[in-house]
Amino acid sequence: MMIDLRGKTALITGAALAKGLGFSAARKMAEQGAKLFLTDIDGARVAERAAELTAQGHEVYAMAHDVTDEAAWDAVMAAVVEKLGGLDILVNNAGIAVLKMMSVMTKGAWDHQLNVNLNSVYLGCKAGLDQMRAQGRGGSIINLSSIAGVIGVPGCAAYAASKGGVRLMTKAIAMEAAREQIRVNSVHPGSIWTEMQDVALADNKEQFDIIEAAIPMGRLGDPDDIGAMIAFLASDDAKYITGAEFIVDGGMTAQ
């Protein structure tokens, strides 16, 4: 059975990369009938992604967006309401990875990681909840975490702190919003072939050979593996799922 998102409106952050998780989710959701609003700190590139989907016959809008700026969230939400008429789905996908051992982690790098990956999700959830509550028709919020928010990974202390925070914040917010039929869930990708992974592979192929060999399914995941999970959680097929975490990692954390 194909997921049906016709009549749904969605805001997806961090959607500028053609081979990224945000755009993969956008493509899946557009194919299933959702009307989309895409944002990213890189306004020009996210506009390209929106144009790509629009050319395929989908209704998609885009806007530059600093997810760490509360006023920017207000402006984006106003634009979503103006263009789409309301908000049914929010995907908090925007994020960065500051991968440094604690011995060389500066306070500035630590703060930057938590600001972009954790504080922004707080701002997004707050703005999304306010809008969904005002509408009174429920909704779905999907927050992107990571397997690094579930297990320990060397060199990921700041990243893990941000993603672990997203994991448990998601559960707490889900409990606050459940009676209003606003569902809040987290998705935890493992090693996925994104554009960031392409860059890392070029810099350190040996390390990635080790990572790939450690995955029980024997390969890195595809962005569409994550996009499909996000689209499912956005749909009414997941109407009784909230406060849950979904690990998509080829079996890495099952070991």
Domains and CATH numbers, the chain: 9-245 (3.40.50.720)
CA atoms of 101 and 191, how far apart (whole Å): 19
Whole-prediction pTM: 0.95
In the annotation, is 159 catalytic? Answer: yes
**Torsion sign across C-alpha atoms 250, 12, 26, 245:** positive
46-55, 141-150, 193-202, 227-236: the lowest-pLDDT one = 193-202
Residue of 61, 122, 159, 240 with catalytic role: 159
The enclosing H or E element of 144 equals strand 139-144
CA atoms of 213 and 70, how far apart (whole Å): 42
Condensed to tens digits (0 to 9), the pLDDT of residues 153-200 reads 888 899 999 999 999 999 999 999 999 999 999 999 998 988 766 665
